[in-house]
Amino acid sequence: MKIGIVLVVFLVLAQQSLALEPELVLGSPAPGFEFRDPVQELRFEIRGIDALADCTLLIGGQPEKSYAGVESGSERTFKIERGPGAYVWAVECVVEEVSIRSEERAFTVSAKALEIDPVEKYFLGGSQDRWVYTVTLPFASEEPVEVMGVRGNDNLDLVLVQEGVEKGKVELRLAAPILDYARDVQYTQYKDAAGKMQRLYEAERRVFDLDADGSPDAEVFFTVDLRTMDFSVRDVALDAVPGVDDVPAEEPGRDPVPGDEVVPDVPSDADAAEEVGSGAEVPGEGVVSPGEAGVEPAPLPADDRVPAARERVRSPGATLAVLVVVGLIVAMGVAIFFMSRSGQVVVKGEQEKQRVAHKKVKVKDVEQDVKRLEEQTAQLRKPAQEGHVITSTTRRKR
C-alpha cells in the first residue's frame, strides 16, 4: 500500500517536472522555404509554461515584431513584408524574467513576389461601414494600379514600403462625388495631413509625397462610374531619368562637340539695314559714316514686311447699306405701332358690342318678368270675381 502511494506521487512529480520544461517550436515555413508572396507568415508555438510569455520575432538577430501575453500551447503568426533576398528568423520569449530562444531558420523571398497585385482590400463594419483600399508602393512595373468601385466614405491608403519597413503613408478619406456646376466637372473631397478638406477633380492628376522627403512618390487620378469611383495610382519614382541624349544641343558655357547641329549666323534684312545706316564697309568705298563731312548717308531700304498705315475710307455702297438698314428698322417700328393701335380699336369695338348685347339681354329679361307678374296677378283676381274666398295661408299670432 505504501509502495503504491509512493509510486503515484513520484509519477505526478515527474509529469509536472516534464510539463514545466518550456519549449519553443517553430512552425511554417520549413527551413529554406522560398516565398513568392509580398507578405510572409512565420508561425511559432510555446509549450510547457504556466504563465504568460512575451515573444519577439528576430530577423537577422534584430527584433521585428512582438506578441504580449502568449499562452502555453497557442500558436501565433507573425506577418512581415520583405523584398527579394535571403533571411534568417528566430523567436525569443521571456517567461517570468527567463529568456527562451528557438532555433534559427532560413527563408528566401523570390523576385516574383513583386509581381503580385499590391492592392489590399478589407471591410470595416459596425459604425464605420466602409472599405479600406491599401496600395503599397513601390511597384514592379511602370503600369498604374487600378482600384475599382470605390464608394463615398471609403478609404484609399497609399503606403510606401522599403526593405520591409513602412517609410510613409497617406490616408485619403473620400467623399461621394459632387458636381461642380461652375466647371461642369465632378470632384471628391479628402482630408490632407493638416486636417483641411481638399478637392480632387475628375481626371485631375495629383501627386503625393508619402515619406515627406520633398519628392513625389505616387500620382493619383480618378473617373466617376455612376455613384462609384475608379482610381488609378502610378508610381512616379519609376519615371525615366533624362540621359545624355536629352541634353540640349547648345548650352551656355559648353563647348560644341561633334554631332551638334551648327546653325550659321545669317543677318536679317533689318540687321543689314542697321549696318548700312550706322557705318558699314561698302565695297570699293571703305567705311562710310553718316556724320562724315561730304558724305551723305545711304538711304535705308524700304521694309516691305510691315505694311504702311492706310486711311480707312468708307465706300458709298457701305453708306447706302447702312441707310437701308436704318430705314427698314424705322419702317418696322412704325408698322408695329399702327398694328398695335388697330388691334386696340378692334378690341374696343368688340367690347362695345358685348356691352350692347348685354344691355339687350337685360331689357328682355325685365319684360319677361313684368309679363309673368301680370299673369300671376290676373290669376289671383279671377277667383275673387267669381265669389270664391281666398283664405290666407299664414297664421295669425294670438
Same domain, 125 and 104: no
Same domain, residue pair 7 and 82: yes
Our count of domains for the chain comes to 2
The verdict on 125 and 232 lying in the same domain is yes
Domain match, 64 and 166 both: no
Domain boundary among 83, 112, 141: 112
Domain CATH number, residue 35? 2.60.40.10
104 and 47 housed in the same domain: yes
For residue 51, give its domain range.
2-112
Same-domain status, 82 and 126: no
Name the domain boundary from 61, 81, 112. 112
78 and 18 in a common domain: yes
Report pLDDT for 90.
94
Mean per-residue pLDDT pooled into runs of 10, the chain (398 residues): 57 54 86 85 89 91 90 88 90 90 91 70 80 88 87 90 84 90 92 85 93 90 89 83 46 50 51 48 47 50 50 64 90 89 81 79 80 86 63 53
**Amino acid symbol at 297:** P
Q: Within this chain, do residues 136 and 234 fall inside the same structural domain, yes or no? A: yes
Q: What is the pLDDT of residue 114?
A: 62
* In a shared domain, residues 190 and 172: yes
DSSP state at residue 349: H
Nearest to 220 by CA among 211, 228, 212, 210: 210
DSSP assignments along 71-107, one per residue: PTT-EEEEEE---SEEEEEEEEEEETTEEEE---EEE
Is the residue at 51 inside a domain? yes
Its pTM stands at: 0.36
Q: Which amino acid is at 10?
A: F
Q: What is the pLDDT of residue 203?
A: 92
Residue type, 25: V
Give the DSSP letter of residue 302: P
Question: Is 304 contained in some domain?
Answer: no
> In the listed set 209, 238, 267, which residue is the last one of a domain according to the structure?
238
Residues 127 and 102 in one domain: no
| 20 and 101 share one domain | yes
CA distance 14 to 16: 5
Residue 251 lies in a domain: no
Query: Do 121 and 234 belong to one domain?
Result: yes
In a domain, 316, yes or no: no
